[in-house]
Amino acid sequence: MVNCCGLVSEKNQPVPLKSISVELQVRDHVASVSSCLQYVNEEERPLEAVFVFPLPADAAVCHFSARIGEQEIVAEVQDKQSARDQYDDAVSSGQQAFLLEESEESSDVFKLSVGCLSPGQKASITIVYIIELSVQADDALRFCLPAVLNPRYTPAVSAAGVPEVSSASVIPYTLSLSVEVRSSDRISKLESSCPLDPLEFLDAQHTHAKVNLSSGHRFDKDVELFLYYENSHHPSAVVEAGASVAESGSLMGDPALMISLYPEFPADVMSSLASQGEFIFVVDRSGSMGCKMHHGNDAQMRIESARDTLLLLLKSLPMGCYFNIYGFGSRFESFFPQSVVYSEDTMEEALKRVKSMRADMGGTEILQPLKHIYSQPCYPDHPRQLFIFTDGEVWNTKEVLDLVKSHVYSHRCFSFGIGEGASTALITGMAREGSGHAQFITGTDRMQPKVMQSLRFALQPAVDNISVDWSVPEGVTVDMLSPSINTLFQGQRALIYAQIKGQSSGQTEGSVTLKYRLKDQPVTNQLQFTLKPAEDTGLTIHRLAARSVIRSLELQERAGGADMENIRRRIVELSVQAGVSSAHTAFIGVNKDSKQTVKGPLLQRRVPVARMMGAFGGPGMNKCVGMAPRMMRRSPMQCDIQSNRMRMECDSVSFKKGMAPRMMRRSPMPCDIQSNSMGIECDSVSDDCYEEAEPQKDPLLQLISLQKAAGCWELNASLAAVFGKTEDQVTNQKAVQVDGSVWATVLALIWLYAFKSDQQVEWQFVAMKSASWIRSQKPNGLSQCVCDGNALLGCQVTEDMLGI
């Protein structure tokens, strides 16, 4: 049963969307995605359909068209208010009209108003967007068609709202997907979470290939593709010819250049870790964090998983660093007034407070705690590292990202989207603007390994001092269009856009020199590029370059200043010229040639739509068939103003004094709110959110919880219980000359390497601290100690393996 939201027909007919057809064209590290939606008005009256769907945060919409019968309408980009006025005028006069615009509050949410359709009339909507393809940990480029859009939390004091849609898992859409790849590098392979037809290479060099999704896919789970190139770490430069109809000297008329920089980090660099820093952990404690990580029977509560992760983080920090922990919801609080030195006492105090953390702080308002953190002075020689854990359900994404970006030179931001619906705009945006790294924990993913991977990034050296130098013939200049890049971490890749101006009478090539520093070692790469690119290769790079400039201008505008009107004018001009969307423009198309006037009262329906606009990047998922789909919140509240009342679907909600209303889950029950009442977005407890039972302690977490801040363990009954022994059994095997803490620490290391090697990414820093502590003690008889420990635990672990 589909829970239709908004005003629906008396018969509650199924949503009219029937199929989605997607064509994906990949060129090196970027892609063009064309999605065609087929739907029909099955009502007995004219229908105004409204679709709400998400796009990747950095996507550039570049085409929007609609076909009704034999009539095709190709929309054009206009100033947003002008487009809205035209749409309203057309619908009120009975004409078919189509409008596509970006959400005011979040760049990854778009609203598609389809306009007026007669009963039984069919329509086809085509939307094309372009996107940069981000890199996975194994160097793959990832493309994903997620299923649904998650509701965003909006504080009651704000009038703004970001629309939401229902789950797509119950909607019988069909999906077809074709993929074509062209690259300057050899294509190694292409994998998917869903069945694919065999990959077909179209040239001998294996730089051109195509593949299709196997027929019959019902879009009941995410579709993921993973593309591998043979030399992914080699920098590349791709030049694209300008549009022949565009004015010479304009961005769209001149050739555009894209450089990819994806540094390789040698093993010796990756093994070196910093011992200084200020680590601030910011944890979402809103009501939605009281829900399960996934829908399996063994799923943890999100807040419970966050507590376990904080335990690992606190035990893994280096001695002498600074740290603090913030919790936030409708309000926020910190464990300490300011960051404190990491020691046994401060660690234990923090752990006690972590154990009492609950999902009891109302809504999700992240802006104020961030402002408080940034107002605190940084510690010299201790670079600030910010770790943010959230559902990602906020309404003021752009304001949050502006704040993070304004402090980019004083900190790094590592963000984590928890659960099955985190906003890619928020999570990836905070990491991007804070020169950090983003991770998504969804489905059956465990939070701990992903967070510890980011901690390693925070402690490892990064690529810095990045510079770009051009060498071009006389008469040719190169204008950088991308903002400067300050830092790149292991696993990150940067795309740099530039405009090639002018012409050379002789030379047909230029060069660019990329320089950077990695662990105080200079690295130089020189790339050649053509000044005479082939014609008619598309405008993907041009439009992504335009999108980059538009985003920078929008950031300047939101920062305020005296030149606001001129900045807005430049945004609109570039958006219209490039044919890409922006915060101030929209795509508008009106069927002025329709022979029939649509009559009768309009019926408005909010249509749940599969999240067909995906990207390489965003939430990372395991590459396996049958994986759990990334489902978002179910049955979000929809408010429809009808006459003098508002109808609201919401869960049974209980409010506590001082708490913001919570967001909601499934099994909605209708209730009526008078016209003067305020709309409430709920986050209440339902069948996905339960009171926490006392969990059984994971032996690994139990062992780590017993470790001291310096890295050692004490010999006691609790430690022996982790090994399945009594305290006497463990004590009696200790050599007389060996200190009890040394013996206990050696046993803990042996146990980790022997029994938890598959989770090493989670305890790697714990083990490193332990090995360092043992070495500092300079114990006698260490080799015999390891032999005795192996005998006691039934293992065969060597000293070299333990790092002692």
SS3 165: coil
Q: Given a cut of 50, is residue 674 above it in pLDDT? A: no
pLDDT digits (tens, 9 = 90+) for 591-633: 766 655 555 555 544 444 433 333 333 333 333 323 333 333 3
How far apart, in Å, are the Cα atoms of 240 and each of 50, 508, 803? 36, 14, 52
pLDDT confidence band for 162 (50 / 70 / 90): very low
Question: Residue 742: its pLDDT value, please?
Answer: 94
Q: How far is residue 368's CA from residue 116's CA, in Å, rounded to a whole number?
A: 43
Strand partners, 99: 113, 588
Strand partners, 385: 279, 412
Q: Given a cut of 50, is residue 582 above it in pLDDT? A: yes
Question: Residue 706: its pLDDT value, please?
Answer: 93
Question: Which residue has 């896919």 as its token pair?
Answer: 217
> Which has the higher per-residue pLDDT, 688 or 176?
176
Domains and CATH numbers, the chain: 8-155+169-231+583-590 (2.60.40.1730), 273-459 (3.40.50.410), 461-530 (no CATH), 710-802 (no CATH)
Check: CB of residue 80 under 8 Å from CB of residue 101.
yes
Question: Residue 432: its pLDDT value, please?
Answer: 83
pLDDT confidence band for 558 (50 / 70 / 90): confident
Question: Residue 424: its pLDDT value, please?
Answer: 76
pLDDT confidence band for 735 (50 / 70 / 90): confident
Q: What rounded mean pLDDT belongs to the chain?
A: 77
pLDDT digits (tens, 9 = 90+) for 370-392: 999 999 998 887 889 999 998 76
187-192, strands of its sheet edge to edge: 141-145, 223-229, 187-192
DSSP of 662-685, one letter per residue?
PP--SS-EEEEEETTSPP------
Q: Given a cut of 60, is residue 667 above it in pLDDT? A: no
pLDDT digits (tens, 9 = 90+) for 530-540: 998 988 778 99
Question: Residue 147: its pLDDT value, please?
Answer: 55
Q: Given a cut of 60, is residue 682 above it in pLDDT? A: no
Q: Which residues of 217-228 are buried (b: 16+ CB within 10 A; e: fewer)?
A: bebebbbbbbbb
pLDDT digits (tens, 9 = 90+) for 241-286: 999 888 889 999 999 999 999 888 887 776 666 677 899 999 999 9
| C-alpha closest to that of 711 among 744, 685, 684, 681 | 744
Question: Residue 512: its pLDDT value, please?
Answer: 94
pLDDT cut 70: percent of the chain above it: 76
Neighbours of 768 (CB within 10 A): 17
pLDDT digits (tens, 9 = 90+) for 4-63: 322 223 333 434 667 788 899 998 999 999 988 887 777 777 876 666 666 666 677 888
Q: How far is residue 165's CA from residue 206's CA, in Å, rounded to a whole number?
A: 41
How far apart, in Å, are the Cα atoms of 584 and each of 83, 100, 231? 10, 12, 40
Question: Residue 799: its pLDDT value, please?
Answer: 85
Tokens at 169, concatenated: 């898992």
pLDDT confidence band for 187 (50 / 70 / 90): very high
Check: CB of residue 135 under 8 Å from CB of residue 229.
no
Q: Given a cut of 80, is residue 722 above it in pLDDT? A: yes
Question: Residue 640: its pLDDT value, please?
Answer: 32
Question: Residue 596: its pLDDT value, please?
Answer: 53
Q: Given a cut of 70, is residue 224 above it in pLDDT? A: yes
pLDDT digits (tens, 9 = 90+) for 737-769: 889 999 999 999 999 999 999 898 889 889 989
pLDDT confidence band for 170 (50 / 70 / 90): very low
pLDDT confidence band for 366 (50 / 70 / 90): very high
Q: Are strands 411-418 and 437-441 parallel, antiparallel or unpaired?
A: parallel
Check: CB of residue 227 under 8 Å from CB of residue 196.
no
Question: Residue 564: its pLDDT value, please?
Answer: 87
Question: Residue 387: its pLDDT value, please?
Answer: 96
| C-alpha closest to that of 162 among 108, 223, 113 | 108
pLDDT confidence band for 693 (50 / 70 / 90): very low
Question: Residue 625: its pLDDT value, please?
Answer: 29
